Chain A
């Protein structure tokens, strides 16, 4: 057992014993805070189904008690908080300037590093441009909101400097589960760190799974919530030193800059966001991509999403570190199913930006999804990390032995059933044989044959089950043996997909490539405009040449010239095949028939000689 604490400890003590250390990235503006000052600094609104917005409680008058007051509203209404009121132009400019000064004062300016724009290539960059344009059509959080939120949050921190987590202890199926919920006033991933989205308020969560043995609680698993991974992929075993960093028995979390996403390892993570295109277009693109990768052997086989935009989540861990023994310690706030602000307020914890794909809408509280339905991580914390099927270590051997006994009993039943049914089958077989040679028994023989076939299939199925059970039993016994010998097995056997930081070699490009990446899309568009004006007669041909030149030039800077030339050549060759077939289909058909005839002739002659 490792890092155990008495099982009789109070929830707060259990939470404190395993609370995580979170390392943020330099440039982070928002840290986990208490919900109370946030609510006090916000106003409460309702978005009616007809699109009307109504302020229910003004800023300065809202409290946690007023937040949970029952309110009637028609179906389709959305309650939400507003941390930042609508800003006019003057306020926006002032907020942006003040936030910049604040960053300078705090020495927390973020530097993306050379290469951010270069990582994705020309086509994803065009996609990036389209994605940015889509923000004009979709609802989004206005640009200066992040700056204003940062200033407002900084003021709250001056008075209320505590860094808070909302801790919850829940006991399910012999597991003791510690959930650490982190609440942030704002998620500035897009505006501050070139990411995908911005939204008011943010919730992140880390869960530690403990088991009881000899009167003490010990940690076995830890799971970090993530949008892109689910179930067992979210968790790491406590003894997995390669993936899970521990400091004095506390798990270390590397938080993404702005996104606050939790990672097990320090680094920069490349996230890919699918472009919001119609389903049919996406399916067609995936089919083409599959043909390109599997049939033509081009590109990376694992890159299945062709319409993607790469984004970076910077989890460098070079900023503020919060947790036991760090620059700042946590202030825990214990919550449970009866905590009123968590249970009774089902609305959003920040601005409802009317974004249909929800990226810019604020999240709901820890108990609910944005639509007000219960959040799985709250009501089913075991299933959330795929642990609903995993017994605690002390119960594992009992569970294995129980399963062995059940299977052995089933094997015995199967053995008897097979013996009995085989005897019956043989009797039928003998009767069927005795009918052979008697034409007048043909109908009876036919019916009997059908019955024999059915019974034989049943016996075959029982034998198959017995054989499979033998293999399962062997595995169970081996596992029992290993567990008794103290072997715990591969700590990552349960992981199918895991986030890994992108290697430095693939992240850094030189300044020329970065400069080119910054200007290339605009240059391309200007070039196209010039072509349309200067040579309208041949604009398509010249456009193709221009785009090709850009793609090849880009590949030289990115060091992917050979791969790019090969891909373009294969693409051109495929088009040429179609062109040649259309032009010379008769000749092609004749050549194919002649080749087939020659091949068949060769085969037959060889056969003849043999």
Chain B
């Protein structure tokens, strides 16, 4: 697919890249979430009381493995790790907010954790470290270029 602009921005060279504190926090969160999901999933699979519980457990375990993978990617400042964890947080937040507003069945702990993840991954230095955004350029031109004009 032809894309008008490549979203991936060249991140800093690996040796000089430093891991911002919020990144470590986000990675620990991913690790915690992954470990919890994996443990919960394996437990459900081992209990094996019904086929639906088995399937639910398997999905949980798979999600746990994914979260652990994301945690490693976050630790290693991988671009895809940031994208995956932000998407995860968006899905989680949407789910919890819908539960809060329309179904009266929210999980506030999940909501708080996802919120924390979003705010940990959003600052400019974090996005720069992951190569999500480019370093803002110092504008030397005197003229501010504007968009077009109307006839």
Chain A interface (Cβ within 8 Å of chain B)? 115, 187, 189, 195-197, 202, 226-229, 256, 258-261, 263, 269-273, 296-297, 302, 311-313, 490, 492-493, 495-502, 505-510, 512-513, 538, 540-541, 544-545, 548, 557-563, 565-566, 568-570, 572-573, 575-577, 579-580, 583-584
Contact = CB atoms under 8 A, between A and B. Distances in A.
Contacts, number: 164
Nearest to A297: B124
A579 B100 contact: yes
Given A559-B7, A565-B90, 7 more contacts: A227-B149, A497-B143, A565-B87, A573-B93, A576-B96, A579-B100, A580-B112
A544 B97 CA distance: 11
Contacts of B101: 540-541
Contacts of A505: 4-5
A570 B2 contact: no
Nearest to B98: A541
Main secondary structure of the interface of A (DSSP, over half): mixed
Interface string B94-126: 101110111100101001101100110011100
Nearest to B116: A573
Contact of B143 (A260, A492, A513, A568): A492
Contact of A500 (B4, B98, B114, B145): B145
Contacts of A566: 86, 122, 132
Contacts of A499: 146-149
B94 A271 contact: no
B150 A512 contact: no
B111 A576 contact: yes
Contact of A579 (B2, B97, B118, B124): B97
A576 B98 CA distance: 11
B151 interface: yes
Contact of B149 (A228, A302, A557): A228
Contacts of A570: 118, 122
A569 B143 contact: no
A583 B115 CA distance: 15
A566 B100 CA distance: 22
Interface in B75-102: 83, 86-87, 89-90, 93-94, 96-98, 100-102
Nearest to A538: B102
Max count, chain A CB within 10 A of own CB: residue among B93, B115, B151: B151
A297 B122 contact: yes
Interface string B45-78: 0000000000000000000000000000000000
Interface of B: 1-7, 83, 86-87, 89-90, 93-94, 96-98, 100-103, 106, 108, 111-112, 114-115, 118-119, 122-124, 132, 142-151
A576 B83 contact: no
Contacts of A263: 149
Contacts of B83: 561-562, 565
B10 to A, nearest CB: 14
B150 A271 contact: yes
A306 to B, nearest CB: 14
Contact of B4 (A261, A558, A561): A558
Nearest to B9: A562
Contacts of A498: 143, 145-146
A61 B14 CA distance: 81
Which 4 pairs across A and B sit closest by C-beta, in order of nearness? Answer: A259-B151, A269-B148, A559-B3, A261-B151
A452 B132 CA distance: 61
B24 to A, nearest CB: 19
Given A297-B124, A492-B143, A566-B86, A189 B94 contact: no
A293 to B, nearest CB: 13
Nearest to B89: A569
B4 A506 contact: yes
A313 B93 CA distance: 41
17 contacts: A195-B151, A227-B151, A261-B149, A269-B147, A497-B144, A497-B146, A499-B146, A499-B148, A505-B4, A508-B4, A561-B83, A562-B132, A565-B83, A569-B118, A573-B115, A576-B114, A577-B115
A583 B1 contact: no
A573 B116 CA distance: 8
A313 B151 contact: yes
A495 B143 contact: yes
A535 B64 CA distance: 33
Given A495-B143, A498-B143, A545 B98 contact: yes
Contacts of A261: 149-151
Contacts of A226: 149
A383 to B, nearest CB: 20
B104 to A, nearest CB: 12
A510 B3 CA distance: 7
Given A505-B4, A548-B94, A580 B150 contact: no
B149 A313 contact: yes
Contacts of A541: 98, 101-103
Contacts of A568: 90
A387 to B, nearest CB: 18
B94 A272 contact: no
A269 B148 CA distance: 5
A38 to B, nearest CB: 19
Contacts of A297: 122-124
Residue in A197, A560, A570, A573 with the greatest tally of chain B CB atoms within 10 Å: A573
Nearest to B151: A259
Give the most central of A196, A312, A512, A575: most B CB within 10 Å.
Answer: A575
Nearest to B96: A576
A115 B115 CA distance: 36
A371 B54 CA distance: 77
Contacts of B108: 580, 583-584
B132 A569 contact: no
Contact of A572 (B2, B7, B102, B118): B118
B122 A500 contact: no
B150 A227 contact: yes
A545 B148 contact: no
A197 B5 CA distance: 30
Given A505-B5, A572-B93, A580-B112, A259 B150 contact: yes
Given A506-B5, A560-B7, A196 B150 contact: yes
Given A313-B148, A499-B149, A572-B118, A512 B1 contact: yes
A569 B93 contact: yes
B45 to A, nearest CB: 29
Contacts of B115: 573, 576-577, 580
Given A497-B143, A573-B118, A580-B108, A509 B90 contact: no
Contact of B102 (A189, A229, A496, A540): A540
Contacts of B5: 505-506, 559-560
